[in-house]
Structure 1
Amino acid sequence: MVNRRKLMLSHGGVRIYHSWKGARALTWWYALEPGHEAEGGGRDFDIRKLPEAFLDGLDLDMARVADAAETLKAYERMLDAHRQALRRAIDAGHDFEASVARDHRRSGGGVIGWLRGVMGR
């Protein structure tokens, strides 16, 4: 059973959750509410789009390795880098609500916004 309420980080009174697509947590996407389904409501964000000051010096990607044990270690290192970037953002007072709303307005609301645009609604 997939735990859809999985908390990524709780820091400084801010709670960040994994964002999901089907039964899988997405690699770089996080949500402001538990059980968030990607492309379904505009409550998620791509960590790579945080301001550079929060990402500086961190490797947000996961090195590909052949060994399963090493892959798990690489994944944990990547998640640690994500947590560090999120802590930096929270400590600096980053407004996740405002940036999520701004990003979703820019993208036109994701797939739903794109479909509305195509259909002229």
Structure 2
Amino acid sequence: MVNRRKLMLSHGGVKLYHSWKGARALTWWYALEPGHEAEGGGRDFDIRNLPEAFLSGLDLDMARTTDAAETLKAYDRMLEAHREALRRAIGAGHDFEASVARDHRKGGGGVLGWLRRALAAR
């Protein structure tokens, strides 16, 4: 289980954390502060909404198996891919504050916000 206080990534002076919903870390959302609760403060962003140049190698459909050990390995690979995408964004000087503002202006977080953005992009 992911520790709420543990950094997800610290790179180039930028610190990013998991965003939470109840007791569960969200798969695609990251926060600019520790212990951030989704739907409760607008300090998080959806990694899938970063510019395309940073998303190379990001698996948007994490495979799950019936084998718990394999699922954990897949989750670890997914987190490392997220870290690499975020490192690329940080290295390029991406403005995470702007990502936070954009994601929340477009309808907020969660599945409904993501679905609204996906449909609007068509």
Q: Quick check: which has more Rg, 1 or 2?
A: 1
Task: Write the distance in 2 (CA, Å) between the matches of 1:16 and 1:83.
Answer: 10
Q: For residues 5 and 90 of structure 1, do their structure 2 counterparts lie closer, same or farther at Cα, with a shift above 3 Å needed?
A: same
The match for 1:118 is: none
Tell me whether 1:21 sits opposite 2:21 in the alignment.
yes
- Kept in 1, the 8 Å contact 2:9–2:15? The answer is yes
Aligned-residue CA RMSD (Å)? 1.9
Q: TM-score, normalization: structure 1?
A: 0.83
The match for 2:64 is: 64
The match for 1:36 is: 36
Figure out how many residues of one structure are paired with residues of the other and give that number. 110
Instruction: Decide which moves more: 52-61 or 18-27.
Output: 52-61
Deviation at 1:89, TM superposition (A): 0.3
Instruction: Decide which moves more: 55-64 or 95-104.
Output: 55-64
The match for 2:88 is: 88
The match for 1:46 is: 46
Deviation at 1:60, TM superposition (A): 3.9
Deviation at 1:2, TM superposition (A): 7.2
SS in 1 for 2:77: helix
Deviation at 1:59, TM superposition (A): 1.6
Task: Write the distance in 2 (CA, Å) between the matches of 1:96 and 1:69.
Answer: 33
Q: Match of 1:59, as an amino acid?
A: D
- Kept in 1, the 8 Å contact 2:6–2:34? The answer is yes
SS in 2 for 1:48: helix
Moved over 4 A (4+): none
Q: Match of 1:17, as an amino acid?
A: Y
Deviation at 1:110, TM superposition (A): 5.7
Deviation at 1:68, TM superposition (A): 1.1
Task: Write the distance in 1 (CA, Å) between the matches of 2:2 and 2:85.
Answer: 26
SS in 2 for 1:88: helix
The match for 2:97 is: 97
Structure 1: give runs of 5+ residues left out of the alignment.
Answer: 112-121
Deviation at 1:103, TM superposition (A): 2.1
- Kept in 2, the 8 Å contact 1:60–1:82? The answer is no
